[in-house]
Structure formats: structure tokens, C-alpha cells
Amino acid sequence: MLYSTTTPEQKRAALRAMLASGTIVQFPGAFNPLSAKLIQEKGFDGVYISGAVLANDLGLPDIGLTTLTEVATRAGQIARMTDLPALVDADTGFGEPMNVARTVQELENAGLAGCHIEDQFNPKRCGHLDGKNVVDTDTAAKRIRAAADARRDPDFLIMARTDIRAVDGLAAAQDRARALVDAGADAIFPEAMATVAEFAAIRDAVDVPILANMTEFGKSDLFTTKQLADAGVNMVIYPVTLLRIAMRAAERTLEALKAEGTQEAEVPNMLTRARLYELVDYEAYNHFDTSVFNFQVPGRPAQSLGTK
Ligand SMILES: C[C@](O)(C(=O)O)[C@H](CC(=O)O)C(=O)O
Ligand SMILES: [Mg+2]
């Protein structure tokens, strides 16, 4: 009921423990707070909050148009609805090292368990597109150093993302990953790896946990958790998966509604009223006030959600 009672500190400690466990963890991307509840219910380890989804949700492309305030606010709304740790995409950190420091403190305040900061030039773009540019190693390291120094909770995870693989190749990605760990990164996100062997090469280069981005329609095939675990990957994200599937379902339903004049054919594909109420824990609110939970679903007894 209401928000998670697990504190941000507990979630950060849990994230640290799962990354140290040696078992690969899966973080699907939540496109809103309700989907974060679904991710938890289905037994996942954590919630990812994608910069691309945040931007696309606002109708914008993922090119660094969103602001720190927008990202911290939305990420906080998502993080507070789940007991799971949430990792947020902080793009390039929203500015110079001083801005990166403020970003980290705002994300801590918003209850996140960690964030990743990338080494792209501004304006940044999706890591799986061509034509990316990265900053030099010194500039990238300063961003990470500023982030690591700014956190007040030592368990807040600073993950460094490097996009250099697509620009200068795998050896450069290994060097960059080492430099970012030296600058204080707790974990590495090597973006746009082409093969499982490339993840293994990053694993060989650093001792910290590494993340695999299993985004669809990108540069990487969709490797299984088993394949990734065998390559030494610790965490996998599926950043845009739920948004893509939900938006495709919305598109299909609008097409049907337009063509047939009714949504009837799509009703079996919908989350039922009862299931939706279950997800928002409607019944529990009765604890405060019985009059809140006195509705009746037609054909069912009062105060019963039934199964439909
Ligand atoms: C992980 C990512 O940074 C995101 O914002 O979710 C994107 C995902 C995508 O665009 O598919 C990325 O740059 O890979
Ligand atoms: Mg992103």
C-alpha cells in the first residue's frame, strides 16, 4: 500500500549484495511506477529506469533533451513504488563535473540505488546508433570522480558507461573501462558490445561488476542470461522492452477501434479491472476507510475483486 517501506539505504545495500553474489541479476526497464510493481511481482531482481524511455514517454527523442529535474522526479516516482533497487540512466550527468556531482545528490535524494554516467559528447544519442562521439579519457574520468566524491551514501552505485567501443574498438573500451574504475567507478557498462566474447574481454579488463544492455533492434544480439553469465556479466538490463510492447499493443488497439468501431476484439488482451486493482493493492486501502473499498463489480458480490 502507498509507497515501498524499504528504505533507499536498504535498497542500495541489497544492490551491492546482489552484485557481489556471483549470480547474474536481471533489471527490466519500468516505463512508469505501475510497471515497476509488475517487475517486482514477477520476481525480478531490480528495476532499470531508461533515459530513452523517459525521453520517449515525453514524446522526445533520446538526445539529451530531458533535464535533471525531469529525470530525478520521474525516477523517484518509479523507485518509491518498489522494494527493489532501481538503477537510473543519468546520460552524461547533465553537464560539467560540478553538475554531475549535483546529479548524484539529487538522485540519492530521489531514492535511487545507483546511476550510470556515460562518456559521450553532448548532445548524446542512443548508444546503438552510428555516429556517436566520446570525450577524452581525462574528461570521462573527471565525470566519474565527481560522481563518486559527491555521494553521501557509500552504497549508492556509480556505474560508468563507455560508448567508446563503437568509435575506437574493443581495446580502447578495455583501456577506458580500466581508467573509469581507477577514477572511482563501482561498475562498468560497456555499451554496444557486438558479441558475448566482447563482454568477456571487458570482464578480463576490470574487477568490478559489468552490465549488459539487451536492448532490441540494436548492435548486440539478444543473448540469454546463461550466455552472459558465462561471459562474466553481473547485471542485464532490458531498457525499452516494456515500453515497446505496451506501445505496440496501444497502436494495435487504436487501429482495431478505428477499423471496427469497437475495442471488443482486443478486450481479451487487456489487463482486467480486477487485475489492475490487484496491482495497485486497492483492497489494502480498506484498512484506512471502508468507504473507499465499497464498489461493486457488476455481477460480483460487493467488496470482492473476483478473478475477472
Ligand atoms: C540504455 C539506453 O541508454 C537507455 O536510455 O535506455 C539506450 C537504450 C536504447 O536506446 O535502446 C541505449 O543508448 O542503449
Ligand atoms: Mg540512455
- CA of 23 relative to ligand 1 center, distance in Å: 24
Segments making up each domain of the chain, as ranges: 8-239, 271-308
Q: Where are the strands (E) in the chain, listed by range?
A: 25-28, 47-49, 86-89, 114-118, 157-162, 187-190, 211-213, 235-238
Assigned C-alpha cell, 301: 458480490
What mean pLDDT comes out for the span 169-198?
97
CB distance 240 to ligand 1 below 6 Å? yes
Contacts by residues 7-11 (CB-CB < 8 Å, ≥ 24 positions apart): 8/79, 8/108, 8/111, 8/112, 8/113, 8/153, 9/153, 9/155, 11/79, 11/83, 11/84, 11/85, 11/86, 11/111, 11/113
20-44 pLDDT per residue, tens:
999 999 999 999 999 999 999 999 9
Predicted complex: ipTM over 0.90: yes
Mean pLDDT is lowest, of 56-70, 258-272, 290-304, for 290-304
Report whether 44 contacts 83 (CB < 8 A). Answer: no
Q: Is the pLDDT of residue 91 over 50?
A: yes
Global pTM reads 0.94
Assigned C-alpha cell, 190: 560497456
CATH 3.40.1280.10 fits 8-239, yes or no: no
Atom of ligand 1 nearest to the CA of 29: 6
- CA of 41 relative to ligand 2 center, distance in Å: 25
Amino acid letter, 273: R
Report whether 57 contacts 31 (CB < 8 A). Answer: yes
Query: What pLDDT is stored for residue 308 in this prediction?
Result: 47
Determine whether 126 is an active site residue. Answer: yes
200-218 pLDDT per residue, tens:
999 999 999 999 999 999 9
Query: What pLDDT is stored for residue 307 in this prediction?
Result: 46
CB distance 82 to ligand 1 below 6 Å? no
Secondary structure (3-state) at 257: helix
Distances (CA, A) of 3 to 83, 261, 293: 9, 39, 19
Q: Choose, from 45, 108, 125, 126, the residue flagged as catalytic.
A: 126
Indicate if the alpha-carbon torsion angle 114, 62, 210, 231 is positive or negative.
positive
Neighbours of ion ligand 2 (CB under 5 A): 51-52, 89
